[in-house]
Chain A
């Protein structure tokens, strides 16, 4: 028996400005309807159509999503931005309604789309627990029964009779999460709430979510970009891509599917230059290459982890220019920074006109097997950014191969990453020779 069934749920949004022209659209539509004609604005039809071919102001945020969840499951929902995750959650939590399809579930559904909803700054923590609980559908008696537990879990007992306007943001999140976690709902929707709060609280929150499912048999839908959290919490994962459900299976497989499907997308569609954002009007970038290729997935040499970055472009003023880079792990935790000018205190000056930048980043040799993300900035260090590429350049480190042919990998942690530039290497080499 399922706790939740989602049947062919689709959601259509109208693009562009809603407020202008809509009255005339509505009148036009109404005029067509009373004459017995088809709705002129519904080019895509009702259920089954080819969105790509139709030229229309409407887009499908979700298309025929179908899946079911058993009681006690923690289902991870992953997908890149705009894949439809939030839309799905909004429909599930009844904030908006689907264009077609049906959703069935038993019991209460509570969503933690954002904790602390409805907190009023002038009211005390205690009053806000009642307020927040009531908004989520708890009765007064229920909250009173759990009040001590909630206050205890939140860890803000000392300030519980202080207006929440004096709370820190961390305290607000703790309080909000505490209320939500104690809501007796059969289905709990969690969306990125763990982004705030300190490590101890995050641990507590994750633990609470696990308890909720194992001991009470409650169902949790967990949406996060944090693959680490998804991996540890969920047994099953679904992947959304452009509004469609593209994968449904074990979490590990779902995550690797997601990462592959995103990688494919990057290779096909985008160059590094296209992925970047021009921050200053003074610059024009012609190309950015890493190891000779413009794609978002640079090819790394098997033995030496070297990134040779070349940037060509035009600058409209005389300035210092430098390439800076940072490496993140899959959970978007920053690991290392590359900024040769900062370290050397020596910058190159570029005259107005065409320029060509070249840097070589040496990744430390002990780097662990895994996927890393690099971001690049073309900058006048400490003064301004000219061009920024978000951390989506994907570095796949295959691990290093020992003499016997085994691939070394470390399951826990990412090891030690350092980024060096050539000069640093030369200097250390010199030093070691001198010694």
Chain B
């Protein structure tokens, strides 16, 4: 032992009620390799257990787009802001898939990992973070598919154009990640004790999609109700993504700012609750 250590040189102290840091960046950084391993595990095991492997990442948005194209585009003839319908739907679907999939998986963090959490300590937040990151890989593949279809339309002479708002793309992805993380942490913290909230979430996410301009543009909503739509923090994100990629969409800096502030507040709340629940979670299950 190093004798120069003073009496107070404890490196770890476990208290009943730690004067909590909201988020222990240092600790999470120490476990960065674990984060990487979880991301790798997510992606790699997806390959190994399925016949089609990463092809599923593509089939899912492709088929959803086809269905939406048929049902909402052809049958219901909803407006797509003058955009080619497949591109319009697909841009929304890729965004929404990322958000909803992260949200669903993070919401069950405690229940699906209880066996692991019961055996060993690591900062629990690593698991939700790994979900957000591994789904980024998936989303990237889906955007590649989108790009292919995009090129197809360009080749056929459609005047679709990228706008400078595309530069906001990284921020938009961060907002989506933050929203799904925030809501997910909130839900997993609450459902660890009150299981019935799981049902609320599963159909809630389905309904939520219809409250987000995925199958219709925000511009088709009358000004009277538009502020209601804007309250949904995903609305401005999806609209801005479309504006950046396809050149048509409703955009306002204030809408975007609202989403950013909403995300930050939500994250603080989610991380706070998650931190409280993780300390005694094993006692309830």
For A82-122 the 0/1 string (1 means CB < 8 A from B) is: 00000000111111111111111111010101100110101
A279 interface hit (Cβ, 8 Å): no
**Does B254 belong to the interface (CB within 8 Å)?**
no
CB contact between B44 and one of A92, A123, A137 (< 8 Å): that residue: A123
Contact B120 A117 (CB under 8 A): yes
A98 to chain B, nearest CB (A): 5
CA of A19 to CA of B1, assembled, Å: 47
Q: Is the CB of A97 within 8 A of B280?
A: yes
Contact yes or no, B14 A94, CB < 8 A:
yes
B63 at interface, CB cutoff 8 A: no
Min Cβ gap A188→B in Å is 13
A120–B41 touching, CB < 8 Å: yes
Q: Compute how far the CA of A435 lies from the CA of B41 in the bound complex, rounded to whole angstroms.
A: 75
A217 contacts which of B1, B9, B10, B49 (Cβ < 8 Å)?
A: B1
Q: Which of B29-37, B164-172, B265-273 contacts A (4 or more CB under 8 A)?
A: B29-37
Assuming the contacts A14-B283, A131-B41, asked whether A137 and B122 have C-beta atoms less than 8 A apart, the reply is yes
B:16-49 near A, CB below 8 Å: 16, 30-31, 33-34, 36-37, 41, 44-45, 48-49
Please give, as numbers and ranges, the residues of chain A lying within 8 Å of B284 by CB-CB distance: 18-19
CA distance A18 to B5 in the complex (A): 44
Given contacts A106-B9, A109-B12, contact A96 B283 (CB under 8 A): yes
Contact of B120 among A23, A95, A101, A217 (CB under 8 A): A95
Q: A106-B11, A117-B116, A123-B41 are in contact. Are A100 and B33 (CB under 8 A)?
A: no
Measured CA separation A100–B18 after assembly (Å): 11
Contacts of B14 on A, CB cut-off 8 Å?
91-92, 94, 97-98, 102-104
The answer to whether B280 touches A117 (Cβ under 8 A) is no
Residue B282, interface by CB 8 Å: yes
CB distance B34 to A122 under 8 Å? no
Interface band, chain A: 35 or more
Q: Which residue of B lies closest to A18 (CB)?
A: B284
Is residue B279 within 8 Å, beta carbon to beta carbon, of the partner chain?
A: yes
B31-A95 in contact (CB<8A): no
Specify which chain B residues have a CB less than 8 angstroms from the CB of A131 in the assembled complex.
Answer: 37, 41
Residue of B nearest to A118 (CB): B116
CA distance A316 to B122 in the complex (A): 55
Q: Name A95's contact: one of B10, B41, B48, B121 (CB within 8 Å).
A: B121
For residue A12, give the distance in angstroms from its CB to the closest CB of chain B.
9
Option from B36, B48, B119 in Cβ contact (under 8 Å) with A117: B119
B143 within 8 A of A: no
B36–A140 touching, CB < 8 Å: yes
Min Cβ gap A162→B in Å is: 13
Q: CB distance B10 to A111 under 8 Å? A: no
By beta carbon, the residue of chain A nearest B17 is: A97
Distance to closest chain B CB from A351 (angstroms): 50
Total chain B interface residues with beta-carbon distance under 8 A: 38
B-chain residues with CB within 8 Å of residue A94 when the two chains form the complex = 14, 121
Beta-carbon contact of B283 and A105 below 8 Å = no
The residue in chain A whose Cβ has the minimal distance to the Cβ of B48 is A122
Residue among B1, B9, B10, B121 with max Cβ neighbours from chain A (10 Å):
B121
B118 within 8 A of A: yes
Q: Does A136 contact B (CB under 8 A)?
A: yes
Closest to A61 in B: B283
A95-B16 contact in complex given A120-B45, A123-B44, C-beta closer than 8 Å: no
A195 interface contact, C-beta 8 A: no
**Contacting residues, chain B, for A54 (C-beta < 8 A):** none
B282 close to A105 (CB less than 8 A): no
- CB within 8 Å for A22 and B282 given contacts A103-B14, A118-B120, A134-B34: no
Q: Min CB distance, B10 to chain A, in Å? A: 4
Chain B, residues 181-222, CB within 8 Å of chain A (1/0): the string is 000000000000111000000000000000000000000000
| Distance in angstroms between the alpha carbons of A109 and B120 in the assembled complex | 11
* Interchain CB contact (< 8 A) of B119 among A95, A99, A163: A95
- A331 interface residue per 8 A CB criterion: no
- A137 to B279 CA separation, bound complex (whole angstroms): 18
Q: Cβ of A107: which chain B residues have Cβ within 8 Å of it? A: 11
Question: Which of chain A's residues has its CB closest to B31's CB?
Answer: A137
Q: B195 to chain A: which residues have CB within 8 Å?
A: 19
Residue A13, interface by CB 8 Å: yes
| Closest-CB distance, A44 to chain B (whole angstroms) | 15
Chain A residues whose C-beta falls within 8 Å of the C-beta of B193 in the assembled complex: 18-19, 22-23
**A71 within 8 A of partner (CB):** yes
Is B224 engaged at the interface, CB distance under 8 Å to the other chain? no
* B33 and A140 contacting across the interface, CB-CB below 8 Å: yes
Provide the residues of chain A in CB contact with B13, threshold 8 Å.
102-104
Within 8 A of B (CB), among A127-143: 127, 130-131, 134-140
B15 at the interface (CB under 8 A from A): yes
Given A98-B14, A104-B12, A113 contacting B119 (CB threshold 8 A): yes
Q: Which residues of A contact B36 (CB under 8 A)?
A: 134, 140
Select from chain A the residue with minimum beta-carbon distance to B46: A122
Are B122 and A135 in contact (CB-based, < 8 A)?
A: yes
Given that A95-B282, A106-B9, A120-B45 are contacting pairs, would A136 and B120 also be in contact in the complex, using a CB cutoff of 8 Å?
yes
Q: Which of B108-122 contact A (CB under 8 A)?
A: 116-122
**Residue among A13, A93, A134 making CB contact with B121, cutoff 8 Å:** A93
Q: Which residues from chain B contact A98 at a C-beta distance below 8 Å? A: 14-16
Q: Chain B contacts of A103 at CB under 8 A?
A: 12-14
- Interface residue A199 (Cβ < 8 Å from any Cβ of B): no
A111 to B122, CA, bound (A): 11
CB of A431 closer than 8 Å to a CB of B: no
Chain B contacts for A22, CB-based, 8 A: 193-194
13 additional contacts, CB 8 Å, given A97-B15, A111-B119, A135-B120?
A: A93-B120, A95-B117, A95-B119, A96-B279, A102-B14, A104-B12, A105-B11, A106-B9, A106-B11, A107-B11, A117-B119, A134-B37, A136-B120
CB-defined A-B contacts under 8 Å, sample of 23: A13-B283, A18-B193, A71-B1, A91-B14, A95-B121, A97-B15, A97-B16, A102-B16, A105-B10, A105-B12, A106-B12, A109-B12, A111-B120, A113-B119, A117-B116, A118-B116, A118-B120, A120-B45, A122-B45, A134-B31, A135-B37, A135-B120, A140-B33
CB-CB nearest 7 A-B residue pairs: A94-B121, A134-B34, A103-B14, A104-B10, A97-B279, A140-B33, A134-B37
Binding site for A on B (CB under 8 A): 1, 5, 7, 9-16, 30-31, 33-34, 36-37, 41, 44-45, 48-49, 116-122, 193-195, 279-284
